[in-house]
Amino acid sequence: MSGCKLTARVSGVGKALPERRLTNADLEKMVDTSDEWISQRVGIKERRIAAEGEYTSHLASRAAADALKMSGLKAEEIDLILVGTSTPDMVYPSVACQVQKALGAVNAGVLDISAACTGFIYGASLAWGMIKAGCMRNVLVIGSEVNSSVVNWKDRDTCILFGDGAGAAIFSAHESETEGVLSIKLGGDGNFDELLYLTNSGCRPFPDVAGRYIMMQGNEVFKQAVRNMYECAINVLEGAGLTAADVSLLIPHQANTRIIGAVAKRLGLPDEKVFVNIADYGNTSAATIPIALCEALEQGRLKKGDVLVIDAFGAGLTFGAMAIRWT
Q: If you ran DSSP here, which 8-state letter would residue 283 be given?
A: B
Site size toward ligand ACO (CB under 6 A) is 22
| Nearest residue to 77 via CA among 9, 133, 1, 136 | 136
Backbone dihedral region for residue 78 (phi beyond 0: left; psi -120 to 50: alpha; all else: beta): beta
Measuring CA to CA, how many Å separate 95 from each of 1, 133, 191?
37, 25, 28
Q: Is 232 a catalytic residue?
A: no
Give yes or no for residue 235 binding ligand ACO (CB under 6 A).
Answer: no
Q: Is 253 a catalytic residue?
A: yes
Residues 24-83 that bind ligand ACO (CB under 6 A): 33, 37, 41-42
Q: CB under 6 A: which stretch of 68-76, 122-130, 213-221, 262-270 binds ligand ACO?
A: 213-221
Task: Please state, in angstroms and rounded to a whole number, the distance separating the CA atoms of residues 242 and 9.
Answer: 18
Q: What track of x and - describes contact with ligand ACO for positions 92 through 131 (by CB under 6 A)?
A: ------------------------xx--------------
Task: Please state, in angstroms and rounded to a whole number, the distance separating the CA atoms of residues 61 and 64.
Answer: 5
Q: Is 24 a catalytic residue?
A: no
Q: CB under 6 A: which stretch of 5-13, 63-71, 153-161, 226-234 binds ligand ACO?
A: 153-161
Measuring CA to CA, how many Å separate 76 from each of 80, 104, 152, 186?
10, 7, 40, 30
Position among 49, 255, 293, 294 found at the interface with ligand ACO (CB under 6 A): 255
**Residue 274 — φ and ψ, nearest 5°?**
-125, 125
Our CB check for ligand ACO shows the closer of 10 and 44 to be: 44
Residue of 253, 256, 277, 294 marked catalytic: 253
Q: How far is the CB of 126 from ligand ACO (least distance, A)?
A: 19
Residue of 117, 159, 232, 294 marked catalytic: 117
Task: Please state, in angstroms and rounded to a whole number, the distance separating the CA atoms of residues 285 and 143.
Answer: 8
Task: Please state, in angstroms and rounded to a whole number, the distance separating the CA atoms of residues 49 and 53.
Answer: 12
Which residues are designated catalytic?
117, 253, 283
Write out the residues near ligand ACO by the rule CB under 6 A: 33, 37, 41-42, 116-117, 156-157, 160, 196, 216, 218-219, 221-222, 225, 255-256, 283, 285, 314-315
